[in-house]
Amino acid sequence: MMFPSRRALLQCFTVSLITCISSASTFFNPFNVTYDHRAIIIDGNRRMLISAGIHYPRATPQMWPDIIAKSKEGGADVIQTYVFWSEHEPVRGQYNFEGKNDLVKFAKLVGSYGLYFHLRIGPYVCAEWNFGGFPVWLRDIPGIEFRTDNAPFKEEMQRFVKKIVDLMREEMLLSWQGGPIIMLQIENEYGNMESTYGQRGKEYVKWAARMALGLGAGVPWVMCKQTDAPDPIIDACNGYYCDGYKPNSNNKPTLWTENWDGWYTTWGGRLPHRPAEDLAFAVARFFQRGGSFMNYYMYFGGTNFGRTSGGPFYITSYDYDAPIDEYGLLSEPKWGHLKDLHAAIKLCEPALVAADSPQYIRLGPNQEAHVYRVNVLSEGLNSSQYGSQSSCSAFLANIDEHKAASVSFFGQSYILPPWSVSVLPDCRNTVFNTAKVGAQTSIKTVDFALPLSSKLSVAQQSMIDSKVSSISKSWMTVKEPIGIWGENNFTVQGILEHLNVTKDSTDYLWLMTRIYVSENDISFWEENNVTPAIMIDSMRDVLRVFINGQLTGSVSGRWVKVVQPVKFVPGDNDLVLLSQTVGLQNYGAFLEKDGAGFRGQVKLTGFKNGDVDLSKLLWTYQVGLRGEFQKIYEIKENIKAEWTDLMPDVIPSTFTWYKTYFDAPDGLDPVALDVGSMGKGQAWVNGHHIGRYWTKVAPKEGCQTCDYRGAYKSDKCTTNCGKPTQIWYHVPRAWLQASNNLLVIFEETGGNPFEISVKIRSTQSVCAQISESHYPPLWKLSHSDFVDGKISADDMVPEMQLRCEDGYIISSIEFASYGTPQGSCQAFSRGNCHAPNSLSVVSKTCVGRNSCSTGISNAIFGGDPCRGIVKILAVEARCIPSSNIGFSQL
């Protein structure tokens, strides 16, 4: 069947997505999905499946086609997502399946690309999502206890899960209806905490399985990290490595529902990165040892727009170091290296699905082979052919973290780098090794939104930068009142739990009381050198203390003790506490009891007559900010505020709203808002909530050189030490108009809005460095001549492949050397051996094109520049927008 191109689908979004996607019944001929001990069986055939994790609410619908297309191009067979209950039912009984919450539209788009769909309903999802994906109203159901044998919870859970399954059935999205859905998931990672609930936890698991199966979806269900998943539910693995995982029944296949290809980040934390070599090693080992379904968590991470990030303290970006970054751009070399691995695994698929189990061969103390073969005619395997009944494929692994190994396998010698797997689709030729990266490296930049030209001088570029160093020279401002600001407040005795009051409608809850201070207290403090203080046994996430309208101090942390010195004046003093959340807890047992705000005693210490128990006083409560209540961040509502012009020389102010207008950058490149000049707050563009921002700085230490070898953990390979964790915030193109875009900022701690800038994120440089001993391009290895045995891998030469993002072309080759070049991307230099025509050969092949490939051989570069030495081709190319051709001056 014909699938729509990525660009065609992007264009169709300007009219209507629905008119461009056919009904679900036309995606596939109806097919059944079952499983056996070896694999998921689709339409009667075992399959080795590569899945890409994409969360639809973490992107706009306009981004979906490009992300799905890049996933398919990268080798994915399946798209996987959670279902976010809090997004779909923000108020009990009121459903939202519109915009970026349009699950049906997303599923149909997946099917339109010929991809399968794995729907993880949960409805608990974790996912670093606010409250783990639960709607906050759920905690107010009388008698409810989450995720245990509790009648109120089970009733609500079943109601929502049934809602989703019924919706998928009504839209003809299940496989037996011709739709893309091949698997569903109930619950999520419950095995981690099942023991906390005792016998009630065990009964809950059994009930969840019965409930899911009783919905009659007609496709297999899975439970991840659930070793006691009742039959026929498949238990699946989550983690960095799952090659040793075995399901709880010999009748179930080995599935990996979450391969963590990166990690999430907290405010003030370093940025974690997982090396492409290690990630590929983990995937290859999984399929080597009998795995059959592997999903990348995440293949595209996206953005926690609005207040959807969990935590507490998870940042707005959910990039996750995924193969496709937060903005929808390819992260190279990770995306390309995995694409090659997927192609190699697909070459092995005939043997992998035909063999019930592999033959294990010990090759050395830390080296081993797993061989999959059917109807082998001879041990030499010379008659092995892809796609025939005589199939053989092998994986050779070296799990030594430090040393390469030379091994003998079926009479041939192979060199295995440390911590690597070689893939041999015919049990002879190595077509891929996880430690040998042949994919390009892309250097992504966040820069000012003006045309780029290879003919611009440094002085011209500097002049451009100075002209666009800020988003606007004209800002307006209005102060947010401290404390009680409206009529919708109430007064009660005591300290109330934060979420019981706000219902998570806002981050902010004001509490105000009045403290009388006598002259005797003042004298007592002065004579005894005593400073009164507010003491709170436990607090989360942020507390700000105001005395008589002035900020006295701030504390942040998760359930931390507070001792905040305060200064009173004689007489009545207004004491205001601002309790703030920064994402609700998303993981752990008893989420309904976690709450927010204050726990334990809240008191004033240091008074002459003893401590003052603040929980016995009358407190006036005000939910949220006045600006939030008035919705002054919306285009039609912002006139409600009494805005005044902001002067550039004004001292940065706390608890202040700012607004300005700006034009969208030209082109289609993703847009980023740079708020590095601000402190902590939230941002909106044209009424769309970009999310929270916080320029909290990461520790200066801990960003050591990363070695891919050895087991990965989240703090192994990190960057950004000594810098703010996040300063760039994604503004989706779909939320922008050509001009007059409204930007509204709420700033809590003080910052300079005049230094805020709008930038574009793009890939301006691409590099590759490939040896003449590298394996040939995998697309040629699947060519019919190779399959039929007419040519071998030895007859082919490696190729260097370069590619700019869509809409960009290679404008120049900044460096090229065939020989013994030194260094790395953006720091290449010639070695002692160099082919003089390197630059001209590569330039002729690549300049003016979106992508290009150059063979790596002596013949292509006019002879051998240094005999007896393995040559390397290193190239750095510059990419510019294709629309900028001919642009040479300002």
In 99-150, alpha helices (H): 103-112
Q: Are the CB atoms for 220 and 34 separated by under 8 Å?
A: yes
* C-alpha distance from residue 29 to each of 32, 218, 448, 750 (Å): 10, 15, 49, 59
**Backbone conformation region of residue 387, classed left if phi is above 0, alpha if psi is from -120 to 50, else beta:** left
- 87, with CB counted inside 10 A (0-12, 13-18, 19+), is buried
Element (H, E) at 731: strand 728-731
- Best CA proximity match to 806, nearest among 113, 329, 300, 323: 329
CA atoms within 13 A on the CB side of 512: 20
76 residue type, one letter: A
Look-up: residue for tokens 């809409």?
807
Q: Three-state SS string across 337-363, please?
A: HHHHHHHHHHHHHHHHHHCCCCEEEEE
Q: Residue 847: how many CB atoms within 10 A of its CB?
A: 16
DSSP code string of 371-429:
EEEES---TT-TT--TTSSSEEEEEEEE--SS--EEEEETTEEEEE-SSEEEEETTSS-
DSSP SS3 for 480:
coil
- Residue 673 token pair: 């808002």
Q: Are the CB atoms for 257 and 185 separated by under 8 Å?
A: yes
| Active-site amino acid positions | 189, 258
- Best CA proximity match to 251, nearest among 228, 224, 233, 225: 233
In 611-672, alpha helices (H): 626-630
CA-only gyration radius of the chain, Å: 30
Q: Phi and psi dihedrals of 851, rounded to 5?
A: -145, 160
Give the single-character DSSP code of 686. Answer: T
- Residue 877 token pair: 């190319």
Give 405-410 contacts, CB < 8 A, sequence gap 24+.
405/363, 405/364, 405/366, 405/367, 407/363, 407/364, 407/367, 407/369, 408/363, 409/361, 409/363, 409/369, 410/379, 410/380, 410/381
Q: Are the CB atoms for 353 and 46 separated by under 8 Å?
A: yes
Look-up: residue for tokens 């250097």?
443
Q: Phi and psi dihedrals of 195, rounded to 5?
A: -65, -25
Q: Are the CB atoms for 147 and 197 separated by under 8 Å?
A: yes
- Residue 4 token pair: 């729509």
Does 123 sit behind a cis peptide bond, omega within 30 degrees of 0 on the bond before it? yes
Helices (H) then strands (E): counts for the chain: 17, 42
| CA–CA dist 1, 28 (Å, integer) | 9
Element (H, E) at 846: helix 838-846
CA atoms within 13 A on the CB side of 745: 34
Q: Three-state SS string across 22-45, please?
A: CCHHHCCCCCCEEECCCCEEECCE
- 668, with CB counted inside 10 A (0-12, 13-18, 19+), is middle
